[in-house]
Amino acid sequence: MEDLKIVQTASWVPDQVIDNDDLSRIMDTSDDWIQSRTGIKRRHISKHENTADLASKTGQLLLEKSGWQAEELDLILVATMSPDAYTPSTAAIVQGRLQAKNAVAFDVSAACSGFVYGLAVASQMMSTGMVKKAMVIGSEVLSKLIDWHDRTTAVLFGDGAGGVLLEKVPVKAPTLLGLQLKTFGELSNELSAGMTSSGNTFPKPLTELTPFKMNGRAVYRFATHEVPESILQASAQNKLTLDQIDVFLLHQANARIIRQVAKRLKQPLEKFPINIAEYGNTSAASEPILLDECVEKGMIKRGDILALSGFGGGLTTGTIILRY
């Protein structure tokens, strides 16, 4: 039997760190408010690097750490809601920079669920035999979409990238144990960024993109209800009990949401690593950054069963359960 294996993890964040006090000097907010409502202390904010730069750096690290050659890759996916451009895709830029000339490359757009959606696409392309070796990266420079006068969104987000190498290998037992994706398009207005104007702008110049807009309370309610539902549905596919899952790697949007999900699932909080204090919400990058940290710290070991679960713009949810 063959199934997919996470061969390698890596992550990369910009050098510049902006803490809550830095923000309170430019807007009416406070370290106390931000920490108590979200769990965030600081975030990395890019000075010059764009999304493809962070993704390429992560891709280079993945190759260096694993010893894989770029030409071995069949697929490069970048999950992002802050691409460098409408075209080329961020993944195509990464493919060019890595000189991964045998890899097909494209972006996946599902906001903070993007990394799970990317893993889902890669796993399905691997199951058909079309792809044997894949690189899946979540990369975001959300700071370019932020209105730094809007305290309701500006304090929440950060920049960064993380990713994995996947390979289809012979296994004794299946490694892909559950997969659930869901999209709630009727709620698309609850969270948006980068909206363009409709209609013909001739002969006016190009208009600017809109910054982040979010109905925070609605997204909070959505997440605390739909994330547990998504995890339950994914685990039911192969009759896994939640107790059999070793680590829950949830999208890092708000520490309160993660605690609430753990409570609803009746699982101990120790199984839910949280690193939002250091990074803020990095959207599609949050789960691969967390996964890489947990692997590097030895908190995740070979054989562990992982549930990666995201939620975000779309609105979307997604859970994938994998044996590491």
Shortest distance in whole angstroms from residue 122 CB to ligand ACO: 21
Contacts of 242 (CB under 8 A, 6+ apart): 231, 232, 235, 265, 266, 267
Residue pair 114/107 in contact (Cβ under 8 Å)? The answer is no
Query: Hey, is 225 helix, strand or coil?
Result: helix
Structure tokens at 213: 């807009």
Shortest distance in whole angstroms from residue 152 CB to ligand ACO: 4
Residue pair 228/264 in contact (Cβ under 8 Å)? The answer is yes
| 312 lies in the site for ligand ACO, by CB under 6 A | yes
Q: Of the listed pieces 98-106, 147-155, 162-170, 194-202, which binds ligand ACO according to CB under 6 A?
A: 147-155
Q: Of the listed pieces 28-36, 165-173, 197-205, 297-305, which binds ligand ACO according to CB under 6 A?
A: 28-36
Shortest distance in whole angstroms from residue 90 CB to ligand ACO: 17
Bridge partner list, 307: 248, 321
- Give the orientation angle of helix 255-264 with respect to helix 31-38, to 10 degrees: 20
Shortest distance in whole angstroms from residue 183 CB to ligand ACO: 12
Cα angle vertex 214, ends 211, 217, to 5°?
160
Can 294 be counted among the known catalytic residues?
no
| 308 lies in the site for ligand ACO, by CB under 6 A | no
Can 44 be counted among the known catalytic residues?
no
Structure tokens at 130: 């079309």
Q: Of the listed pieces 31-39, 55-63, 118-126, 200-208, which binds ligand ACO according to CB under 6 A?
A: 31-39
Which of 18, 35, 37, 97 is in the footprint of ligand ACO by CB under 6 A?
37
Q: Give CA torsion, residues 219, 224, 227, 231, to 10 deg.
A: 180
Residues that bind ligand ACO (CB under 6 A): 29, 33-34, 37-38, 111-112, 151-152, 155, 191, 214, 216-217, 219-220, 223, 253-254, 281, 283, 312-313
